Amino acid sequence: MMRPLIEGKTLPVLIVSAALIIIWYCASIGMNWQRQIDTYNRTDVVGWSTSELLYDVLNQKKPLLPTPHQVAGEFWNTTIGQAVTSKRSLVYHGWITLSATLLGFVFGTLFGISLAVLIVHSAAMDRSLMPWIIASQTVPILAIAPMVVVVLNAVGVSGLIPKALISTYLSFFPVVVGMVKGLRSPEGIQLDLMHTYSASKFQTFWKLRWPTALPYLFTSMKIGVAASLVGAIVAELPAGGGSGLGARLLAGSYYGQTVQIWSALVTAALLAGALIFCVSAVERLTNLSMGARA
């Protein structure tokens, strides 16, 4: 009963989680302590004991750094405690962000694979495209995203598409880089073998290059899906007061609702974790069907 707990991943993960929560509590107390004393002085509260102070520090209405139980409480109230259609529900906002993330991720992956195929099969493409692809990622996305969203809005494109576009922009890059490497990874004799069969480029691609590149694709997709989520959130920031986790973050910072900000952050982190888990699951299934050692 205890053995899998000790030998598996569960126990280490639990220990690290516990350590993080303790550090978080300590940081909360440290950052909110003086503010609570100032509040006492300002509102003429006298004769407070240390335990009263500690209780108030841990339960401030607008703390500098909210405590884990405050964030958990807010998270609970805005997910389970709300109808999912409510504008106060994190499930609602999360879904808005997730749909843009997924659309952008699918486009980004397809776009990245297409570019990699072009680059691998044409020396001219390799020389002309690669520098631009790398340059594209040196542009600060935080500066570009609002402009893209506003410009597209002006020409009547709004909602999902502009956000998905930013996600695509961020997620295609790891896929291009990974797939160029992956599609070039077959060994010399594996390619020679295809040559001795007089296989067409198309056959060489599907029967050799593609299967060899799959491990690279999944690694790239894990990076890409996380970048995609960041892209969707960043794209939501300029649409203040709108929907999505990004809008929720911005609204929270406007009104000093730190608890709201942190619960939106936690939601984003959980989403990212779930997305990467999904990609890993598909990867594992693919590996099994391709004869990986169990």
Residues that bind other proteins (CB under 8 A): 187, 189-190, 192-199, 203, 207-208, 211, 290-291, 293
**Contact (Cβ atoms closer than 8 angstroms) between residue 276 and residue 101:** no
| C-beta closer to other proteins: residue 106 or 199 | 199
Rounded CA separation 269/229 (Å): 10
Q: Please give the single-letter amino acid code of residue 258.
A: T
Q: How far is the CB of 194 from other proteins (least distance, A)?
A: 8
The smaller minimum CB distance to other proteins, of residues 128 and 185, is found at: 185
Amino acid at position 62, single letter: K
Smaller CB separation from other proteins, 113 or 208: 208
| Closer Cβ to other proteins, 68 or 215, answer by number | 215
Distances (CA, A) of 143 to 10, 97, 138, 190, 261: 41, 19, 12, 46, 21
- The minimum distance between CB 293 and other proteins, in angstroms, equals 7
- Amino acid found at 294: A
What residue spans of the chain are helical by DSSP H? 3-7, 10-42, 50-58, 68-79, 90-121, 123-136, 141-154, 160-183, 188-196, 201-204, 210-236, 245-254, 258-289
In the bound state with other proteins, the residue whose beta carbon lies nearer, of 9 and 293, is 293
The least CB distance from residue 192 to other proteins, in Å, is: 6
- Long-range contacts, 130-135 (Cβ 8 Å, 24+): 130/180, 133/173, 133/176, 133/177
Report which of 147, 139, 116 is spatially closest to residue 129, judged by C-alpha positions.
116
**Helix, strand or coil for residue 10?**
helix
Instruction: Find the shortest distance in angstroms from Cβ 208 to other proteins.
Output: 7
Give the shortest CB-282-to-other proteins separation in angstroms. 16
Minimum Å gap between C-beta 196 and other proteins is 4
Q: Which is nearer to other proteins, 50 or 196 (CB)?
A: 196
